[in-house]
Amino acid sequence: MNPQIRRRHFLSMVGVGALGTTALAACSDDGGAGEEAPEGPVELRMTVWTASEDHLGLFQEIADAYVADHPDEVSAVTFETIPFDGYTTSLTTQLAGGNPPDLAWIFESNAPEFVQSGALVDVRETLSSTEGYDFEDVGETALELWQDGDALYAYPFSNSPFVMFVNTDRIAGSGQPNPADLVASDGWTYDAARDISAASAAALGGAGLVVRDFDYMNWTNLATVWGGWDAEPWSADGATSEFDSPEMVDALEWFHDAIFTQNAIPGPGTSADFFAGDTTMTITQISRASSLDGSFAWDIVPLPAGPTQQQNIVGQAGVGVLAAGKNPQAAANFLAYFTNPENSASLSLYFPPPRESLLNPETLAAGNPVFSEPQLGIVIDSISGATTKPSHANFAQVDTTARGALDAMWTPDADVAAVAADVSEAIQPLLEA
Amino acid sequence: MTSITTAQPDRPQRRSAWRRRDAATGYAFVAPAVIGAIAFVIVPLGAVIWYSLHEWNVLANTFTFVGAENYQHMLDDAALHDSLIASLWFSIGVVAVNISLALFLAVLLNQRLPGTTLFRVLFFTPVVVSLVAWTIVWGFLLQADNGINGFLAEFGVTGPNWLRNNVTAMIAVVVVQVFKNVGLNMVLFLSALQSVPEEIQEAARLDGAGAWRRFFAITLPMISPTMLLVAILTVVGSLETFALIDVLTDGGPGTSTTVLVFYLYRQAFEFNQFGYASAISVLLFVIVLALTLLQWQTRKRWVFHES
């Protein structure tokens, strides 16, 4: 046989094989949404970022009770833990791969993106029409982020406020005023927190004040600081950057000064962990209290007041029904059961609930035994009137771009106002996109 | 005569049957490799090219044909241009340092001295260590106030904040990448060095050639085929580095260490721009292919036995 012909024959076989494999791959796409509702009971899957056995045990208990009550509708509910870091990436990869979960936890920062993209199903009708659901009990402000017009795309099951954890051993050891006393005397300000932190770090070593999880990367956590200056990174409609506003520049200058001039906040590349006992105070959510091991005395106080105001901040998490899932209505029905008043009370053991009837020290005390009743009062007060951390429909790109541009600020001689202007200029096109 | 005339048409038929059987056996042998290549190389490559012609929003579940729009967008994408520059610096650094260090170590450890086996093991060990574990350890070593800087502080030296400065961060990722893989190239060079015939070296020595002359005139040309292999592997490996950047710098500070693969990942899995990310991956494929072909085509000029 002519070698030319043989090669052509071989190549044509490869081509046919490739086309055949492509066709098989195309045919094997199950399509996800749009399939007709199955006749028999279905299996549901919910992605979560908690790996706590207590949390997962409670979820499974609720799910098993639902399956027992609705054997014709749902045969099983599984809870799939995806690591916190990269959770949204893994979730969207599942969507891209044609393997969407039926329900998913969603970070507040990604809420507008999920709400506006059509990735989630409107669950308002299902929730509000479910008998005994008492939809009016869910705080309107808690729902804001998850609504678009009359549609509600997720239930904000967790509203965990940011507070200041204080190592009172280090306060006493460095002879500094107790923040709780300053709260009582209206002297609890960011300047006071900075001065106490700097003095205690100078006297005892270790670190002063840490905005936990900021790590010079997760800049949205600084919302817990700039709220005191009434600053926002962008306008309420998300279209205009306000990163270079005088309020934001003042807040960032205060923060920069606290790092590089006052040595009150550990600088970039420095490790400090409040829960290891070598840090005087840290801004974080109450759920972190589980890391306290009793090795030092501690307390919590509200976020300090800035020059303009005292602003409470909550970190929200929602649970929504994926439109691309195979059984959206069955998933919405399960969501209504999962978050009904009784199950919300159970969930509030671990997650501060959006239901106003459950926001009381007695309910929260059951799930947060490390807190005293007055401390739980601070937790509840920190939820009221709180805003959420920054979020945007184009959050991922805005977040990455702002983080890159902000890196120039974390040097001792940085021109804070100029860097803030650069950040503003960099994110403006992305806010409009 | 009759028997001859009847046998003649039968012989080609039998030969043809043997050939068919031979061909079938041959195809059966290559089938697993061909099917694997089709399923895991050709089809994904075709799919990526197809995706690159679409705007694919996984959240909105939309997949719209946009033609060459994603490729046009590459021309205006300043961040992509930054990542190409970062990739260029990273690859130059990794290739230059890795190959020279690997060759230097191989030459040193090719000597018959006590303890060389121990050093060979020491330099090769990082190759078999988990990349993520290796990178996390380096992350601690490169902290502002601990690790290397803590050691320097003992001598009154204030080290730089390695991962927070554009230049030192790039140096850091290059060094960490080189130390991770230099052992592999070192072993390849060692093997090549040991296959250089001793009699040629001896003849050169008798002719009065010194150590440097023998190295450049005999050793280097003799190991040049391995040099080609190492160069191709190192260039391709440097262009595909991802996990190291993800764990150590997350592409920062700013975008100084956002190499092309990391930018591609970010577009696909953080920004959900799967169509645009596919176009970038086609660009990466073309770059890797072009550099490999360039090295292959120029081999005749410098690789022994290829001229």
Question: Chain B within 8 Å of A92 (Cβ-Cβ)?
Answer: yes
Give the contacts of A134 (CB within 8 A, at least 6 positions apart). A341, A355, A357
Residue A15 Cα, gap to closest chain B Cα (Å) = 9
pLDDT confidence of residue B2: 44
Is there a common fold for A42-160+315-379 and A162-314+388-432? Answer: yes
Are B58 and A17 inside 8 Å of each other by CB? no
DSSP letter at A234 equals B
Question: Chain A within 8 Å of B45 (Cβ-Cβ)?
Answer: no
For the stretch B208-234, pLDDT in tens is 999 999 999 999 999 999 999 999 999
> How many CB contacts within 8 angstroms connect chain A with chain B?
93
For the stretch B42-96, pLDDT in tens is 999 999 999 999 999 888 888 999 999 999 999 999 999 999 999 999 999 999 9
pLDDT confidence of residue B10: 62
Residue spans of the domains in chain A: they are 42-160+315-379, 162-314+388-432
φ, ψ for residue A103, nearest 5 deg: -130, 155
Spelled out in words, what is the top-level CATH class assigned to the domain A42-160+315-379? alpha beta
For the stretch B253-305, pLDDT in tens is 989 999 999 999 999 988 889 999 999 999 999 999 999 999 888 888 877 76
Q: Encoding tokens for residue B143?
A: 């902290």
- Report the candidate in A350, A320, A345 with the shortest Cα–Cα distance to residue A137: A345
Report the distance separating Cα B86 and Cα B183, nearest Å. Answer: 25
In angstroms, the Cα distances linking B238 to A198, A234, B183, B243 are 44, 39, 15, 12
Are B59 and A92 inside 8 Å of each other by CB? yes
pLDDT confidence of residue B289: 95
CATH superfamily entry for domain A162-314+388-432 = Periplasmic binding protein-like II (3.40.190.10)
Q: Note whether A196 and A176 are within 8 A (CB).
A: yes
Average pLDDT over residues B98-126: 92
Q: Which of A1, A114, A397 sits opposite B271 (nearest CB)?
A: A397
Chain A residues in contact with B143 (beta carbon < 8 A): 269-271
Q: Which of B61, B143, B266 sits opposite A324 (nearest CB)?
A: B61
Please report the residues numbered 202 through 221 in chain A whose beta carbons come closer than 8 angstroms to any beta carbon of chain B: 216-217
Beta bridge partners of A298: A167
Please state the ipTM of this predicted complex: 0.78
Question: Chain A within 8 Å of B76 (Cβ-Cβ)?
Answer: no
Are B252 and A271 inside 8 Å of each other by CB? no
pLDDT confidence of residue B14: 76
pLDDT confidence of residue A369: 78
List of chain A residues with pLDDT < 50: 1-35
